[in-house]
Amino acid sequence: MLRLNMRTTNFALNMRTDPGKADPNMPEPTGKGEYIAPQNNQKVVPVEVKIDSTASRQTVGIYTQTAFSEKMAARGQQQLSEGIARRMREGRQVRNNGPLTNAIASISRSNMMPRQAELTIVSMPAPKITVTPSRIEGTIDPGVSKIVITPGKYTLQYSPAKVDISVDRYASIKMWTTGNYDIYA
């Protein structure tokens, strides 16, 4: 018995696509510059008040260590000079009048008598006040501000979309006859 064998192939298209590209490109503007902030290099020198009340305090009897030392040194020199002069005077009295009078006893009696105190009234001097007014010293630095801006350039890179269609295989029908079924059918 004769058998009819058939083989069919379908129509096949081959399609390649390129989607295309539209790239709008605009780089950011750039800026180069130098900035130094302004600075205030000024300072205020405060008012200065000096009060010298040394003379007022010394009138009352309040001394600094140095002034007290100077006063005591001057007083000591004066008392030393007075003591030397008194002893020279007493020695002359004893030498000249000693055998005739009782000069030693009168000298001893005069040295034993209490010394008379003095009261001195003095006006108190005003303290010396020196005022140095406040002032502003220094300068103001205005700083630097320089900026150079480079604008961005707009560019468009465009390539259109493409479609390439081709036939990969055509449709076909093959028929043949054999005595048995063909395995290729």
Tens digits of residue pLDDT in 128-168: 999 999 999 999 998 898 988 888 887 888 888 888 888 88
pLDDT of residue 76: 95
Mean pLDDT over each residue of the chain, to the nearest integer: 86
- Separation of alpha carbons 120 and 98, rounded Å: 38
Residue 185 has pLDDT above 60, yes or no: no
- Separation of alpha carbons 177 and 52, rounded Å: 143
- Separation of alpha carbons 77 and 85, rounded Å: 12
Segments of 59-134 assigned E as strands: 128-132
What are the φ and ψ backbone dihedral angles of 46, each rounded to 5 degrees?
-70, 165
pLDDT over 90, % of the chain: 23
Q: Report, as an integer, the average pLDDT of 5-15.
A: 87
What are the φ and ψ backbone dihedral angles of 175, each rounded to 5 degrees?
-130, 140
Binned at pLDDT 50, 70 and 90, residue 73 comes out as very high
Tell which phi-psi region holds residue 86, choosing left (phi > 0), alpha (psi between -120 and 50) or beta: alpha
pTM over 0.85: no
- Separation of alpha carbons 50 and 10, rounded Å: 117
pLDDT of residue 5: 80
pLDDT of residue 39: 92
